[in-house]
Structure 1
Amino acid sequence: MSETTIDPADFRKVLGSYPTGVCVITALDEGKPAGMVVGTFTSVSLDPPLVGFFPDKSSSSWPLIEKAGHFCVNVMGSDQQDVCRSVSAKGEAKFVGVEYALSDHNLPIIANSIASIECELYSVTEAGDHWFVLGRVLRMETVREDDPMLFHLGRYGGFAERM
């Protein structure tokens, strides 16, 4: 069987035509919030309740979240682009100006996110240049009913119903 060579630019372009939801994964690292923006979040299993996401192996934030052993998936609303830009930044300034509160599981929950899903780390599996992270859901809550933030063709946006 021969391997097909896929051009990375084509791969990104074609798969970029598929919109994804935007979440911010948060944890505490030695008392300070750590976080990363992902567009790869998905539900995985009802029994046990598992969710998953795919951090890049080169991420500087993922090792901090992994070390914590627990994380919160904050589902972003279409009006939270500023939060995504902040948390996407490199270094110490990720949470400057980002409102959050600590949950009973000691996880940062971002203010006004659409939903929060608190998890304990269940497994981490190698998946090419990413990790496939599974979390066992400990607690979840819908915070507000609003349009989710979507990422499509390199841009953030919201959902628009067609009639």
Structure 2
Amino acid sequence: MGMPEAPPREAGQAASPDFDTMHFRRTLSQFATGVTIITTRASGASVAAGAPPFIGITASSFNSVSLDPPLVLWSMATRANSLPMFRDGSHYIVNVLSASQLDLCKRFSTLKGDRFAGVEYRLSENGLPILGNALAWFECHNRSRYDEGDHVIFVGEVERCGVLDSHEPPLVFQNGTFSTTSPLED
């Protein structure tokens, strides 16, 4: 006796998932990612109300897309309060964190208020914060945005980038834990 046939569906249509959200999240957590802080300028209305002039968020969804043209991507939850500023802004900076910047990572993922208070940074050519001691940074034109599920995917065209001449290891997030990388022996 064979397996029962699956019900027919339209070509190009995905089947319903055979798992719940928690199983999906646990499975995704097995993929190690680098950790970044994405920074941009706050909108005029919030700054006028006395808010800090910049905003920043911790993100582990960063990835490269293309070398020519130079494109990168990252994503943000649609429920994030700062989504309108990233969606409507013309530029942002992706700051790649080192292992020694765990406190900064946590600050930008949890702290309410001015996340930049006391944080070392310099301004890019577009007047956006590049965090001090970031392993690398990418200044991006906000090229395109795609609404997908419960996130918005941002594709940035890199206008400028830099790398810190350091042997410091990167900050990595995997299976709900922060760590770093170590070379494997041959």
Measure, in 1, the Cα distance between the counterparts of 2:119 and 2:27: 33
- Structure 1: 4+ residue segments shifted above 6 A: none
Aligned to 1:23: 36
Aligned to 1:85: 106
Query: 1 CA distance for matches of 2:23 and 2:147?
Result: 23
User: Aligned partners of 1:115, 1:45: CA distance in 2, in Å?
Assistant: 17
The one-letter amino acid paired with 2:33 is T
1:156 paired residue number: 178
Of 38, 55, 62, which residue of structure 1 is paired with 2:76?
55
Q: CA–CA distance in 2 between the matches of 1:4 and 1:86?
A: 35
- 1:118: how far off? 0.1
Higher strand share: 1
Identity of aligned residues (%): 33
Larger Rg, first or second structure (1 or 2):
2
Q: Partner residue of 1:101?
A: 122
Counterpart position of 2:162: 141
Provide the secondary structure at the position in 2 that maps to 1:72: strand
Q: 1:4 to 1:77 in 2, by over 3 A?
A: same
1:116-151: CA deviation from partner (whole Å, max 9, x where unpaired): 100010000011111111011110010233211100
Gaps of 5+ in 1: none
Give 1:99's aligned amino acid: E
Moved more, 11-20 or 27-36: 27-36
Residues 26 and 33 of structure 1 are in contact (CA less than 8 Å); yes or no, is this contact kept in structure 2?
yes
Give the deviation of 1:153 after TM superposition. 1.0
- Alpha-carbon offset, residue 62 of structure 1: 2.6
**What code does the residue aligned with 1:27 have?**
T
Q: Which residue type is aligned with residue 91 of structure 2? A: H
Q: Normalising by the residue count of structure 2, what TM-score does the alignment of the two structures yield? A: 0.82
Q: TM-score, normalised by structure 1?
A: 0.93
Cα distance in 2 for residues equivalent to 1:118 and 1:6: 38
SS in 2 for 1:10: helix
Q: Is the 8 A contact 1:113 1:144 kept in 2?
A: no
- Match of 1:124, SS state, is strand
Backbone CA RMSD of aligned residues: 1.5
